[in-house]
Chains A and B, each alone.
Chain A
Amino acid sequence: MNTRKIEILVGLFVALGVAAFAILALKVANSGISGNGDTYTLSAKFENIGSLKTRAPIKVGGVVIGRVESIYIHPQEFLPVVNMSIDASYECQFSDTTSVSILTSGILGEQYLGLSPVIAAESAKQSCLGNEVTSNAGSELDDLFGVESVALKNGDMLTDTKSALVLEELIGQFLFNQGGE
């Protein structure tokens, strides 16, 4: 076999080794992978996020519709804020009365975000998409409560949140209630 061919194959071998190192260093040990497809971002403020991690799934009725993008502390209120990136096809579909809670898969499993969606009224959907509002259909609920709901779009903040259940707090509460009786 001639030298050129051998050199090319050795070059391939070294390149494979470097590629493996890059995969291990970037994908296995570090964060920084982007999701696929178009997404839009919602944020939600919690009292306590438990052990929620970035890239944790966001589920509606068990179906994954997005991922946790980042978690940080609100600079004034010192409460954790979770940024969620959700599939763009769901933009303007949920009403702002949608609630989000931190749930656990299984007893020892990882934590994820459960979204309980309230479907936005047709008029709110249209105004969110930037169309002219023509019909007023589907807004009976709004009339009932006397408020006008808004559909969620990129950058909106969810207000109805339920924090993670922390075992110690639950036990503490239980003991406190027992003592009161």
Chain B
Amino acid sequence: MDFLQVLGHKALSRFASLGRATHMLLGALLSMPNFRKGTPLLIKQLYMVGYQSLLIIMVSGLFIGMVLALQGYTVLVGYGAEDSLGPLVALSLLRELGPVVTALLFAGRAGSALTAEIGLMKATEQLSSLEMMAIDPLKRVVSPRFWAGFISMPLLALIFSAVAIIGAHLVGVDWLGVDSGSFWSIMQSQVSFQQDILNGMIKSFVFALIVTWIALYKGYDCVPTSEGISKATTETVVHSSLAVLGFDFLLTAVMFSS
């Protein structure tokens, strides 16, 4: 009986927290947009969330592309098929690694920062003060951060893939001696804009929604103590990484399996 009660309690609290998360998201999204006041807030968040993530995204992209080319070459050269390095790198990046690795890095770099920031705002009762001044914190604090994450991450994923392909070209063509024309032409003949690039972008939009939502909710819902903030930040990274990987499997199964 006790076991059942524990199970039931856990399930109910999970549903309650899912409900609070949805309520927060809808509250942030469905409030009347005010472009004159909202745009400066959004631009500031785009700077914090998007621009400042550029460095880690570009450097990781470059190195992941170079490593992919190096490893792919070692296997392909055994079959004399090293010319297929281009499509190997491009397809794995555009379909999987670009959106997924960007989302994981984004969760670590920007998601944790969002949680900590909003968590501290809650702990120091800044959110309550806003409400006292009749300013909706969902609209003023949560909404611009959500849109900034939702806009930045697909852009970051595109930059990641492009830089990684350049890195692969650097290693594959300039160092290992794969023919440059074959590298690009076979890549172009095998990569389709709709099937690969657009589906990859849909993926990164979904991941952007998941990661930003989790990060904002964990901060908004944290226990307002220093320990609570630390726990919420950790949970943001762990939960959003797991959610991204899980959804990636689902999306891949739907998009590329037939």
Contacts and interface: CB of A to CB of B under 8 A. Distances in A.
Contact-residue size bin, chain B (C-beta under 8 Å from the other chain): 35 or more
B191 interface: yes
A30 B54 CA distance: 26
A27 B184 CA distance: 8
B161 A24 contact: yes
Contact of A28 (B47, B163, B165): B165
Nearest to A67: B181
Given A29-B197, A54-B185, A106-B79, A17 B161 contact: no
Given A10-B50, A14-B155, A16-B54, A64 B179 contact: yes
Given A7-B43, A67-B181, A110-B83, A25 B197 contact: yes
A73 interface: no
B90 A28 contact: yes
B156 interface: yes
Interface string B36-53: 000010011011001100
Contacts of A10: 43, 46-47, 50-51
Q: Is the interface of B mostly helix, strand, loop or mixed?
A: helix
A21 B158 contact: yes
Interface in B140-161: 152, 154-156, 158-159, 161
A55 interface: yes
Contacts of A107: 79-80
B96 interface: no
B192 interface: yes
Nearest to B40: A3
Contacts of B90: 28
Question: Which of B46, B181, B186, B189 has the most chain A CB atoms closer than 10 A to its own CB?
Answer: B181
Interface string A59-79: 000001001000000000000
A30 B188 contact: yes
Question: Which of A12, A13, A109 has the most chain B CB atoms closer than 10 A to its own CB?
Answer: A13
A28 B81 contact: no
A67 B181 CA distance: 8
Contact of B191 (A17, A19, A28, A108): A28
A12 B163 CA distance: 16
B182 interface: yes
A53 B186 contact: yes
Nearest to B44: A6
B162 interface: yes
B187 A28 contact: yes
Interface in B59-115: 79-84, 90, 94
B193 interface: yes
A53 B185 contact: yes
B248 interface: no
A54 B189 CA distance: 9
Contact of B94 (A6, A13, A28, A30): A28
B165 A9 contact: no
Given A6-B44, A29-B193, A107-B79, A13 B184 contact: no
A57 B83 CA distance: 11
A33 B193 contact: no
A54 B196 CA distance: 21
A9 B162 contact: no
A30 B193 CA distance: 8
Interface in A14-68: 14, 16-17, 19-21, 23-25, 27-31, 33, 53-57, 64, 67
B201 to A, nearest CB: 8
A141 B43 CA distance: 76
Nearest to A5: B47
Contacts of B187: 28
A67 B188 CA distance: 15
B51 A109 contact: no
9 contacts: A17-B159, A24-B197, A28-B191, A29-B193, A29-B196, A55-B185, A105-B80, A106-B80, A110-B182
List of 6 A-B pairs having minimum Cβ-Cβ separation, nearest first: A106-B80, A17-B155, A55-B185, A20-B162, A20-B158, A13-B51
